[in-house]
Copies of this chain bind each other. A is one copy, B any other.
Amino acid sequence: MLKIRDFARLGEVSMVTLRHYDEIGLLKPDYVDPDTGYRFYTIDQLSQLHRILALKDLGLGLAQIIKITNEGLSPQALQGMLRLRQAELQQRVQTEQEQIARIEARLQDLEQGCHMPTYEIILKTARPITAVSRRISPVEITHKWDYANALLALMKQYGIKPIDHLLLLYEEFEDENRESELQIAIPVERSKAIALVEKSDGYVELCELPAVPIMASILHHGSPYTTFKTLQVLGTWIETNKYTITGDLRRGISLQRTGELDGYITEIQFPVKKSL
């Protein structure tokens, strides 16, 4: 019979750990003195402790270890648990390696003096959106804001309210002869969108944006006509962090559109997926 200190030393665990294992029913002492509450362990129990520690070394949680050691777990179930744990670990290793790479990129930036980048890129998901939209040809692009306001005015006329921020949708084509297209889109309730489209003689379209699982997002402060540098930063980030732009629509979300152009704030989102 070993006192807790000696048993702890043999297993190289703390006494607190042993009390914890007792409390959760993972490893009960062989004998507990009813008067003093002193816990006593046998050498034989060291094998149990070893098994527990070995399973813990695989990264299993104590709840799982209780199932394995104290409840008759079928080999299949054990296999399943191990496979699950393995998959979890592989997932984690991957995200951690990505974090390492991102930190590396940051450190590179830091060495080049741009110590605190004003641009922060994060990944988001995009929910599906129903909107009314208006296509704008490349030559009209400098008037896009007028078109947006016209569309809003039309909506107001029919008593339809936007349910989210105004969107700018960019479509780029592989075909070099075809210029990229721009749409202005305003999210509205689906039924109202349909009604408006029917009344509009064709130049207002129904726009149903699907959900996009990963969007690389950056905030652009300032005039929406001077996004070049911001787009470049976003593009560089996507490349250095090993993402690829997918075929879904690129978006600008006009978050703030009051006063001077300099005060505008636009969130730019590129649909991406992990490369390889």
Contact = CB atoms under 8 A, between A and B. Distances in A.
A59 interface: yes
Interface stretch (A100-108, A139-147, A201-209): A100-108
B44 A265 contact: yes
Contacts of A118: 47
Contacts of A102: 57-58
B107 A83 contact: yes
Given A79-B110, A110-B78, A125-B12, A47 B120 contact: yes
B58 A121 contact: no
A161 interface: no
Contacts of A265: 43-44, 46
Contacts of A85: 103
Interface in A187-224: 217-219, 221
Contact of A100 (B78, B90, B219): B90
A54 B120 contact: yes
User: Contact residue range for chain A?
Assistant: 35 or more
Interface string A218-257: 1101000000000000000000000000000000000110
Contact of A92 (B47, B82, B96, B116): B96
Contact of A93 (B46, B97, B122): B97
Copies in the complex: 2
A12 B103 CA distance: 22
Interface in A74-127: 75, 78-79, 82-83, 85-86, 89-90, 92-93, 96-97, 99-100, 102-104, 106-107, 110, 115-116, 118, 120-125
12 contacts: A43-B256, A46-B255, A53-B122, A54-B120, A54-B122, A57-B99, A58-B103, A59-B103, A85-B103, A86-B104, A93-B93, A96-B96
Interface of A: 10, 12, 43-44, 46-47, 50-51, 53-54, 57-59, 75, 78-79, 82-83, 85-86, 89-90, 92-93, 96-97, 99-100, 102-104, 106-107, 110, 115-116, 118, 120-125, 217-219, 221, 255-256, 265, 267
